[in-house]
Amino acid sequence: MNPLDAKKIDDFTMACPVPISDYPHVLLAHGGGGKLMHQLIEKMFKAAFNSGELNKGHDSAVMKISQDRIAFTTDSYVVNPLFFPGGDIGKLAVNGTVNDLAMSGACPKYLSLSFILEEGLPLETLWRVVQSIRQAAGEAKVEIVTGDTKVVDRGKGDGIFINTSGIGVLEHELTIAPQNVRTGDVILLNGDLARHGMAIMAVREGLEFESSIESDCAPLADLVGALLNGGVEVHCLRDLTRGGLASALNEIAETSKQSIFIDESLIPVREDVASACEILGLDPLYVANEGRLIAFVRPADQDNALRIMRGHPLGRDARVVGQVDNKASVPVMIKSKIGARRILDMLSGEQLPRIC
Amino acid sequence: MKYLDEYRDPDLAKRLSREIHRITTRPHVLMEVCGGQTHAIVKFGIDELLPVGIELVHGPGCPVCVTPLELIDKAIEIASQKNVVFCSFGDMLRVPGSEKDLFAAKAQGGDVRIVYSPLDALKLARDNPEKQVVFFAVGFETTAPANAMAVYQAKHQGVSNFSILVSHVLVPPAMEAILSSPNNRVQGFLAAGHVCAVMGYTEYEPIAKKYHVPIVVTGFEPLDILQGICLCVKQLEEGRVGVENQYTRSVRQDGNARAREIIEKVFCVVSRKWRGVGAIPRSGLGLREEYREFDAEQRFGVSQYSAEESPDCISGTILRGIKKPHQCPAFGNTCTPERPLGATMVSSEGACAAYYRYRKHQPQKDAAVP
C-alpha cells in the first residue's frame, strides 16, 4: 500500500494539535529548520512524548546514570506497509530497540528518535505513528529524550523511515553474550513463531486469511528482567527478528564456536500461521518475529526459567526447543518431524516463495 | 491441521519405512521427477529412512532449473527496457543468466516484480495501460492452465499491453528422454503429483509399457513420498509394471478437464531446449498462432538470442540422475547458493541447492533402520 494513500483515522479521541487543515501533508519545509518544522516538533512530537529532557529543546539530552555498565544500540525501520495487523512502524521502532537492549539483560531507559519523512505523507498518518510510539514507549517504560526530523523529496522515501538509538542500564553482574554459551546449555523459546513476518506478507500480498494473523510485536525487557530477578543464570539471549529462529541459532553457534541441536517437533507454530507459510512456500523457521526470544541457560536452571517465563504474559507458551551439544561438525542440526536429522543452515539472500 | 500434519506423522513414517525394508530384496534406482519432491526428500531426510539398496536420483522436475540460459538473458533484456514491468515468480529472480540475474537487473533500474499469479500481472497491465507488462511463464503443466487463462483473458478483454515469455516444459517427454538415454539407470519413477492433478496420468501408461518401468503418481508430504516409494518398489520386486496413483486425494486419472481445455485452447506442443539436457522434441508448450501476439519474444524482438553454459556446471548430468550434487567438483567451492554457476544451485527446488542446504557436510548416506 502506498503510504501516501493512507486513509484518514477516526479512532483517536485526541485531536491532532498540529493545524492539519492548513498543511494536511508533509512538506519539504517541515524538515527545513524553520517555523513549520518548529511547529511540528512542538505541537506533535514534544506534546506526544512528554519528556522532560526533550522539552528542554537542547541539541543533546543529558542524563545521570548510576550504573557501571550501560547497553547502547541503534536500529532503523523501513517496514512497508506502515500499518499491519498487530502494529505499525512506530510500535516496531520502540519495541525493536527495547528488545535489542534487553538481550544484554539491560533495563531500557532512553531512546532517540529520528524521522526521515517523505514529502506528501499525510500528517494524519504521521500523527497516528507518533501516537503509537507514545503508547509503546509508555508500555516499555522508556523515555524519548532526543530526536531529529528530515524531509526528502516525494519519491525518495517510503513514507516514513525511522532511526532509533537506545540506552539501557545493566543492573546485574552477568555477561549475557554468545561468548558465554556453554556446552550443555538448554535453549528456551518464549512462544510460537512466524507471526510477524506472515502478518506483513498477508498485507503486502493482499492475501486474506480467515483469521487475521497479527504481528507478535512486543517489548521483552520485562520478561528478561523476571528471569534475572528469579535467579536464573542466563548465558545468552537473542531476539528473533529477520531471518527467524534459524538465523539466530546459526549466528550464535558461529560466534560461540559451539554446535546446537534443535528438535523441530518441539517448536510451536500456530495453525493459521503454518497454513499461510505452506501456501506461500515459506519455512517458518526463517520468518521474522518481533516478540520472541531464545534464552540459553544452565540445565540446572531449566525448570525455574520455564516456570518464570510461563508466569509472564509474553511467555505462556515457553518451552525447551534444543540444546548446545558440541557434538556435530556443523553449527546447527535439526531433527525433522519425521525423525531424520539434517543441517539447519543460514539463508543466503531472502527467502523466496516457491513456484508450484 | 488438515492435510499437512497427518502426512508428516512420525509413527506412520516409521511404519512405511519398515515395510519398505521388509519388501526390498535387491537394489533399485528410483527417480522422483518433481523438484518439490526432491526438496521434501532432503528436508525431511526421507532417504535416511530407506534401506541401503534403494537409491533415489533426482530428476529434471524443477522448471526453474531447466529454463535455458538464453531465455534468462532474454528476460533480462526485456526487463531492462524502459516502460516495461517484468513480472515473475520469486525463484526465477536469482537464476544466473550469462552475465547477471533478474535481481541484478532490478537493482540496475529494471522494474522487476514478484507476483504469485499470472492474473496479478494481467491486472497490472490493465491498471497501467502506458506500460508493457510481461509475465515470465515458467513451469511444467502445473502452471500452464493459469498462464493460458491470463493470455485468454488478455485477448478477450483487449489488454494489448500484456505479453508472456514462455518457458513451459512437459514431463512425459523428459521421462522418455531419460529412459531412452544409453546411460540410464532409472528403474522406477515417482511421477509429479501436481502435474498429474492437471493432466491426469493416462499419458504415462504407454511409457510404463514401452520402457518397462513402474510409474507411481506421488504427492509431496513425507508419507506420500514413502508410500509412493513403497508402491514402486513393490512393483519392481513382484516383476509388475504399471501406472499407480498414490496421490488419490488430489489426482484423478483424467486430471482436470477444464484446466486441460484452456491449455489446449491457448498453447500447442513445441520443441524446447532444456538447460543441461539439450533440445527435446515436442517437449514444451508455445502460444498458438491466434495468441502469438502475446508472445514476448516476438514482441520485443529477442527470439535470436543464444548463450553458452558455464563449462564447470554439470547440472545436466544431475538433472538426468547420472550424478549427485556432491560429486560435482565445483559443489560447495566455486558454486554455492550465493554464487551459483547453474540453475540447480539457485532454485530452492534444485537438487544442488537442496543438497547444499541440508547436506553439505554429509557426503555419504547412512542406512537407518527404524
To the nearest whole Å, the CA of A205 is away from the closest chain B CA by 8
| Nearest residue to A149 via CA among A112, A116, A111, A110 | A116
Look at strands A186-189 and A234-239 and give their pairing: unpaired
Q: Quick one: A57 exposed, middle or buried, by C-beta within 10 A (0-12, 13-18, 19+)?
A: exposed
- Write the Ramachandran bin of B217: left for phi over 0, alpha for psi from -120 to 50, otherwise beta: beta
Place of cell 537506545: A166
Test B114 with A352 for CB contact under 8 angstroms: yes
On whether the CB atoms of residues B97 and B72 are closer than 8 A, the answer is yes
To the nearest whole Å, the CA of A348 is away from the closest chain B CA by 6
**Positive/negative CA dihedral, B34, B36, B39, B40:** negative
Q: Residues A82-132: pLDDT tens digits?
A: 999 999 999 999 999 999 999 999 999 999 999 999 999 999 999 999 999
DSSP A61-80: ------SS-EEEEEEEE--S
Test A353 with B90 for CB contact under 8 angstroms: yes
Collect all residues of chain B within an 8 Å Cβ-Cβ radius of residue A329: 361
* A74 in B contact zone (CB under 8 Å): no
Q: Which residue of B has its CA nearest to A347?
A: B357
Bond before A81 cis per omega within 30 degrees = yes
Cβ-based neighbour number of residue A113 at 10 Å: 24
Cβ-based neighbour number of residue A85 at 10 Å: 15
Q: What value does the mean pLDDT of chain B take?
A: 89
| Nearest residue to B62 via CA among B285, B312, B354 | B354
DSSP B72-110: HHHHHHHHTSTTEEEEE-GGGGG---SS--HHHHHHTT-
Test A339 with B4 for CB contact under 8 angstroms: no
* A208 in B contact zone (CB under 8 Å): no
Collect all residues of chain B within an 8 Å Cβ-Cβ radius of residue A355: 63-64, 89-92, 138-139, 143, 349
SS (H, E, C) B215-267: EEEECCCHHHHHHHHHHHHHHHHHCCCCEEECCCCCCCCCCCHHHHHHHHHHE
Percent of chain A at pLDDT above 90?
67
Question: Can you tell me the distance from the alpha carbon of A73 to that of A242, in angstroms, rounded to the nearest whole number?
Answer: 17
Q: Which residue of A has its CA nearest to B368?
A: A340
* A354 in B contact zone (CB under 8 Å): yes
pLDDT for res B365: 43
**Is 80 exceeded by the pLDDT of residue B266?**
yes
Test B94 with A356 for CB contact under 8 angstroms: no
Tell me which of B44, B62, B124, B359 to substitute to probe the interface with A (most A C-beta atoms closer than 10 Å): B44
Q: Which residue of A has its CA nearest to B13?
A: A338
pLDDT for res B2: 67
Q: Residues A10-27: pLDDT tens digits?
A: 444 456 776 666 788 999
| Nearest residue to A104 via CA among A175, A166, A171, A167 | A175
CA-based max dimension of chain A: 67
On whether the CB atoms of residues B47 and B56 are closer than 8 A, the answer is yes
**Is 60 exceeded by the pLDDT of residue B201?**
yes
Tell me which of B37, B65, B89 to substitute to probe the interface with A (most A C-beta atoms closer than 10 Å): B89
Tell which A residues from 231 to 270 touch B, by Cβ distance under 8 Å.
Answer: 265
Test B1 with A345 for CB contact under 8 angstroms: no
Percent of chain A at pLDDT above 70?
90
Query: Predicted ipTM?
Result: 0.77
A352: nearest CB among B13, B338, B348? B348
Average pLDDT over residues A304-328: 94
pLDDT for res A14: 59
Tell me which of B95, B195, B361 to substitute to probe the interface with A (most A C-beta atoms closer than 10 Å): B361
Residue type, B102: L
- Write the Ramachandran bin of A273: left for phi over 0, alpha for psi from -120 to 50, otherwise beta: alpha
Tell which B residues from 15 to 44 touch A, by Cβ distance under 8 Å.
Answer: 36, 42-44
* A211 in B contact zone (CB under 8 Å): no
Q: What sections of chain A are H helices per DSSP?
A: 35-39, 47-49, 52-55, 89-102, 123-140, 195-204, 221-229, 244-256, 271-280, 302-310
At B360 the three-state DSSP class reads coil
Residue type, A259: S
Across A254-258, A350-354, B81-85, B247-251, least confident range: A350-354
Test B10 with A337 for CB contact under 8 angstroms: yes
pLDDT for res A136: 97
In degrees and rounded to multiples of 5, residue B320 shows phi and psi of: -95, 5
Burial A226-264 (b: 16+ CB within 10 A, else e): bbbeeebbbbbbbbbbebbbbbbbbbbbeebebbbbbeb
In degrees and rounded to multiples of 5, residue A103 shows phi and psi of: -75, -10
* A9 in B contact zone (CB under 8 Å): no
CA-based max dimension of chain B: 65
pTM for the full predicted model: 0.83
Cβ-based neighbour number of residue B182 at 10 Å: 4
pLDDT band at A288 (very low <50, low <70, confident <90, very high): very high
Residue type, A117: L
Greater pLDDT, A322 or B63: A322
Specify which residues B269 forms β-bridges with: B285
Q: Residues B296-337: pLDDT tens digits?
A: 999 999 887 888 777 788 887 887 778 888 889 999 888 888
Average pLDDT over residues B44-66: 87
Test B91 with A342 for CB contact under 8 angstroms: no
What are the grid coordinates assigned to B49, written together? 529412512
Tell which A residues from 274 to 303 touch B, by Cβ distance under 8 Å.
Answer: 274-275, 278, 280-281
* B121 in A contact zone (CB under 8 Å): no
Look at strands A160-170 and A143-152 and give their pairing: unpaired
**Start-to-end C-alpha separation, chain A:** 26
